[in-house]
Amino acid sequence: MICVICHKKIEPDRTTDGKIYWTEGNNAQPVGEGRCCNKCNINIVLPMRYGELELQEMEDKKNG
């Protein structure tokens, strides 16, 4: 599977003893449609989501 953000292969998540427990990557929304790697999820997707939540909270306080 390829990351829709950086276009690199999505590596499987592994336990500390090396067993694969997840191969499907992460939800790339709102940055992109599809799946993304852990690096893009941590550095791009999650900050975007947190930013959107903060904007929504500010908007709610303004209108509330």
CB neighbourhood size of 10 (10 A): 22
Share of the chain above pLDDT 90, in %: 80
End-to-end, the C-alpha distance of the chain in Å comes to 44
Look at residue 23 in the predicted model and tell me its pLDDT: 97
Averaged pLDDT, 20-46? 98
Look at residue 18 in the predicted model and tell me its pLDDT: 97
Give the DSSP letter of residue 9. B
Six-digit token string for 5? 């953000």
Look at residue 51 in the predicted model and tell me its pLDDT: 92
pLDDT for residue 21 is more than 90: yes
Look at residue 61 in the predicted model and tell me its pLDDT: 85
Six-digit token string for 32? 């992109």
CB 31 within 8 A of CB 5: yes
Q: Is 11 helix (H, G, I), strand (E, B) or coil?
A: coil
Rounded to two decimals, the pTM is 0.84
Six-digit token string for 48? 């975007």
